[in-house]
Amino acid sequence: MKQSLQLKLGQQLTMTPQLQQAIKLLQLSTLDLQQEIQQALDSNPLLELAEDDYDAEAEARALATENSQSTGEATPEQAERDVAASADEWQTDTLPDELPVDTQWDDLLPSSSAPASQGEDAFDGDFDARNNARDSLQDQLLWQLNLTRLSDTDRIIAMAIIDATDANGRLQSSVEDIHESLTPDLDIDLDEVVAVLHCLQQFEPAGVCTRDLQECLLVQLQQLPPGTPCVEQARLMISRHMAQLGSGDYKQIMRRMRLSEAQLKEVLDLIRTLDPNPGQSVGEDTTEYVVPDVFVSKRNGRWVVELNPDIAPKLRINDSYASLIRRADSSADNTFLKDNLQEARWFLKSLHSRNETLMKVASKIVEHQRNFLEYGEEAMKPLVLHNIAEAIEMHESTISRATTRKYMHTPRGIFELKYFFSSHVGTTEGGEASSTAIKALIRKLVAAENPRKPLSDSKIAAVLEEQGLQVARRTVAKYREMLMIPPSNERKRLV
């Protein structure tokens, strides 16, 4: 086979470092973006926080316009938009405006500050979060154990029981297994293990170190204040009629306990105040607070979309350091400043691009889901990523990145941008309805149903069909499970 050289023309998608950085910033959440900005401020001396009266967006737009034009001598108009006093001083000779494909930042800007070390002394995590971490259930039980007067043998037994207790407060090992594991080291009887177990069951929160749900509820009833109404009936119901209580067979409970419907309701109300998993109230608090990226409000009859100005600090390029850059100077200090200056300009441009994309996507979502803002979930329209991508002339992957972990503050609450996208279901008139609207209708029907005769999935499908929505019974069951609504036999209530 003869070898030869051939020249071909083709097109392919390239990923320049600028595009990589823009995509990275676009898909970051609010908290991640703030950390990324802080890291850029710590590593780049050319970046600094702007004053309150500083227009960071204007500088970003100027930098974007400058970078989009060809390199060369700056015009007077460009000089007015430039951040520095002189365009010549800002011009870099070592870095082009567009970089080759697959260029790495570390290879391109070797003089930039290196990332912080990840050694044993590195501080990973927020200081306040680490110091305010809540103790686990085992820590709480051990703390209470240290305040209890027990013998050395009983203390060893108690620590073994605490180790066998899970995060919900339930004992995962039987008393026999705990006794057997301690027998080789201690000369104890099974009754001693049971006695220590009963002692630990008096610890807080009420109901910990119990072997099953029945014992957990009985222990909590024993710790209620004296004179609490219906305590004896509740204890009797849990002790003898736990199976009927779990299946909802209230008629049999009323017949066996000789209770009226009103008395049964009072006993059930007391039982519902008990906690089946007491250990969940203790432990690390993993609550995450949502910071909205976009605010939506109605002004003069029009829906207005605004970016949250507090999600990211305003940045600008440090004029003092920028003025030190000298053209045609290849010294190490001057090269360091030039490299960081170009990196700062790209970072500001990427931030501006992120804000523009997020604003376009949010505006189109509000324009499409105006009925939801006016009337609620039942007026939600079907929407997919392709609709927004086609409207703003961007790729669907860009829309997906712009809507992931981004939140919108509306008069109806705070929602993730992904919430406004949903599949569609056909109507009897040939139109389409959003799955979110159908879920809202199902929730509304279940909330208004008769608890004695709850609606089955087939009945809900029939009611929706009467309203012009063609929803199969299996689809109703799927939406009901997504809404965490139990089936009709579990929703049935006698009182």
SS (H, E, C) the chain: CCCCCCCCCCCCCCCCHHHHHHHHHHHCCHHHHHHHHHHHHHHCCCEEECCCCCCHHHHHHHHHHHHHCCCCCCCHHHHHHCCCCCHHHHCCCCCCCCCCCCCCHHHHCCCCCCCCCCCCCCCCCCHHHHHCCCCCHHHHHHHHHHCCCCCHHHHHHHHHHHHCECCCCEECCCHHHHHHHHCCCCCCCHHHHHHHHHHHCCCCCCCCCECCHHHHHHHHHHCCCCCCCCHHHHHHHHHHCHHHHHHCCHHHHHHHHCCCHHHHHHHHHHHHCCCCCHHHHCCCCCCCCCCCCEEEEEECCEEEEEECCCCCCCEEECHHHHCCCCCCCCCHHHHHHHHHHHHHHHHHHHHHHHHHHHHHHHHHHHHHCHHHHHHCHHHCCCECHHHHHHHHCCCHHHHHHHHCCCEEEECCEEEEHHHHCECEEEECCCCEEEHHHHHHHHHHHHHCCECCECCCHHHHHHHHHHCCECCCHHHHHHHHHHCCCCCHHHHCCCC
pLDDT band of residue 56 (cuts 50, 70, 90) is low
Lowest mean pLDDT among 94-98, 139-143, 433-437: 94-98
Q: Are residues 379 and 487 in the same domain?
A: yes
Q: Are residues 64 and 103 in the same domain?
A: yes
pLDDT band of residue 151 (cuts 50, 70, 90) is very high
Q: Are residues 426 and 336 in the same domain?
A: no
pLDDT band of residue 110 (cuts 50, 70, 90) is very low
User: What does the pLDDT read at residue 57?
Assistant: 54
Q: Are residues 183 and 267 in the same domain?
A: yes
Lowest mean pLDDT among 34-38, 257-261, 270-274, 428-432: 428-432
Whether residue 427 is predicted with pLDDT greater than 70 in this model: the reply is yes
- Span 195-228, pLDDT tens digits: 999 999 999 999 999 999 999 999 999 999 888 9
CATH number at residue 398: 1.10.10.60
Q: Are residues 345 and 376 in the same domain?
A: no
Whether residue 121 is predicted with pLDDT greater than 50 in this model: the reply is no
pLDDT band of residue 60 (cuts 50, 70, 90) is low
Whether residue 245 is predicted with pLDDT greater than 90 in this model: the reply is no
Q: Are residues 252 and 322 in the same domain?
A: no
User: What does the pLDDT read at residue 63?
Assistant: 52
Q: Are residues 473 and 378 in the same domain?
A: yes
Is residue 458 a part of any domain in this protein? yes
Summary mean pLDDT of the chain: 81
Whether residue 449 is predicted with pLDDT greater than 50 in this model: the reply is yes
Q: Are residues 221 and 327 in the same domain?
A: no
Q: Are residues 376 and 344 in the same domain?
A: no
Domain that holds residue 460: 372-407+418-491
Count of structural domains within the chain: 3
Is residue 87 a part of any domain in this protein? yes
pLDDT band of residue 290 (cuts 50, 70, 90) is confident
What percentage of the chain reaches a pLDDT higher than 90?
42
Is residue 317 a part of any domain in this protein? yes
